[in-house]
Amino acid sequence: MENYKQEFIEFMIDCEVLKFGDFVTKSGRKTPFFVNTGFYRTGAQLRRLGQYYARAIEEAFGLDFDVLFGPAYKGIPLSVAASMAISELYDREIRYCSNRKEVKDHGDKGILLGSPLNDGDRVVIIEDVTTAGTSIAETMPIIRAQGQIQPVGLVVSVDRMERGGGTKSALSEIEEKYGLKTAAIVTMKEVVEHLYDRPYKGRVIIDDALKASIDAYYEQYGV
């Protein structure tokens, strides 16, 4: 596993973004782990997060695209932070764009904020986590309604590696349904590999009991 992936896993722990316990996902699944990017709350944290995303985006898609689209609401700071990091790390100007939940009818009108989407634009979508593909199903019609736009990829922070609506993983279903390449900074397999039975800052994050809960979850929802 690349060093930046290991650093990112520990970064999530430090920021309390990656938590273990009893949670319910947006799709209604009871899960022993949860990723909430809303806990990135400082400028320094967002700067580092943007850099991790930038690394994953460059590795997966290169930089031959025009716009980084972050669905409202959590995708808004993600698109800003990652586009800034791409400029900083790779000297490449990528525009950022996000949607509003409600159409604005005065001033800067419309459903979009940031850069407009123009015919011919190649777009990479940036999200926090995709469990069942619900968010992308809401996002794609918004993007396609703007004109002859070419969505080329989706990047998330963590691939939960579980089924979407059928028997395949949520990201695989997205690839097939929308023709998008998908990528993640890390997968849950990599998270478990890095944290299981290994002390981090004086404590073991994933012990045998938690590992058993994660394994049981994947027996039910894994691919």
Task: Report CA-CA distances (Å) from 220 to 161, 173, 189.
Answer: 12, 18, 16
Picking from 189, 185, 167, the residue whose alpha carbon sits closest to that of residue 33 is 189
Please tell me which residue in 101, 106, 109, 201 is annotated as part of the active site. 106
Of the candidates 120, 118, 97, 119, which has an alpha carbon nearest to the alpha carbon of residue 108? 97
Alpha helices in the chain (DSSP H): 3-14, 43-61, 75-90, 134-144, 170-178, 188-195, 208-221
Torsion of CA 70, 153, 176, 173, to 10 degrees: -50
The CA distance from 101 to 14, in Å, is 31
Selecting among 19, 30, 74, 104, the annotated active-site residue is 104
Clarify whether 194 is annotated catalytic: no
104 is catalytic: yes
Say if residue 54 is exposed, middle or buried (CB neighbours under 10 Å; 0-12, 13-18, 19+).
Answer: buried
3-state secondary structure labels for all residues of 194-207: HHECCEECCEECEC
- In this structure, the number of other CB atoms found within 10 A of the CB of residue 14 comes to 13
Scanning the structure block, which residue is given the tokens 């580092």? 48
If DSSP codes are grouped into helix, strand and coil, which group holds residue 23? Answer: strand
Give the catalytic positions in this structure. Answer: 104, 106
